[in-house]
Amino acid sequence: MRLPLAALCLALLTAPAAAGEPLLTVEALVSPAWLERDGVREPLAVGDALGEGARIVTGPRSRARLRMGEGSAVKLGEQAHFTVEQLKSEPRGESSSWQGVLDIARGAFRYTGARLAEAPGRDLKFRVNSLVAGIRGTDVWGKSDDAKDFVVLIEGRVTVVRAGEEIALDKPRSVLAAPRDGTPPPVGRITARQLAALAAETEILAGAGGAWSGGRYRVVVITTVDETYARGLHERLRAGGYPAELRTVEQEGSPVYQVYLADLGGEREARTVAQRLRALGYAGARPAR
């Protein structure tokens, strides 16, 4: 018997994560960004699986979009420091229960719960320095900077702990802040225009140089017969937060080495990345398919 499409979608989104399946995965990215785990720092790449203890650091103009196994999205803005302190999924009948603590020490984030996944149990907490937001199927934006920590409710309901006090946000565009100096203000509201400006800080906008799974464009940084030079450039790019790849091809019976960035979402994205790399001194960077 074939399931109706809506029922099939619900089953897929609420199914428990299979054994060994990553709970949190990098779905899209604007470099430079880094992944730190087990004492090793590498460039963040599309498809990276994040477990407990993983830490993401995004660079200038960078963005990262992460996808949880039950469908929810976590978006990070530039200069963000994000750590997966705890994250687990446990079977609960035909669905699953998700619990975790995700830490935003600096920068902006947005969490959007998957609508069809609101039936399973969800108990996530986002720690934004001095604020702790308890998440259960909602849409929330937050940021920690030099002036304050704050959380903005976009949709749904969130409970935030500030200085030991639990405060419920249940009206769209409600804001709770914890300034570095002075007495915390009461719950406030922002305008729709102000919210749109904040949301843009965590979105991968068209033309920003985004990469994602299935992206068909590349940026070729260099093609050379000098293996030592190619490997050195490859390592420099990776140290700088770009997930560069190195491959060897045969041309007229001799090896040629190519350093490139893959998975870019379109020609416009590839042109943006190539332009940024040229500004960093990689003069030969060019878009390719």
The pLDDT value recorded for residue 95 is: 63
Annotate 196-221 with b (16+ C-beta within 10 A) or e (fewer).
Answer: eebbebbebeeebbbbbeebebbbbb
- Range of 13-22, 250-259, 276-285 with top mean pLDDT: 276-285
Look at 171-175, 181-185, 198-202, 227-231 and tell me which has the smallest mean pLDDT: 181-185
Q: Look over the chain and give the mean of its residue pLDDT values, rounded to a whole number.
A: 90
Query: Are 149 and 170 in contact, with CB atoms under 8 Å apart?
Result: no
pLDDT(253) > 90 = no
253 versus 81: which is more confidently predicted?
A: 81
The pLDDT value recorded for residue 252 is: 85
Domains in the chain with CATH codes: 22-200 (2.60.120.1440), 211-288 (3.30.70.1070)
| pTM more than 0.85 | yes
The pLDDT value recorded for residue 5 is: 38
Query: Are 97 and 16 in contact, with CB atoms under 8 Å apart?
Result: no
How far, in Å, CA of 103 to CA of 101, rounded?
A: 7
The pLDDT value recorded for residue 32 is: 98
Q: Residue 275: pLDDT band by 50, 70, 90 thresholds?
A: very high
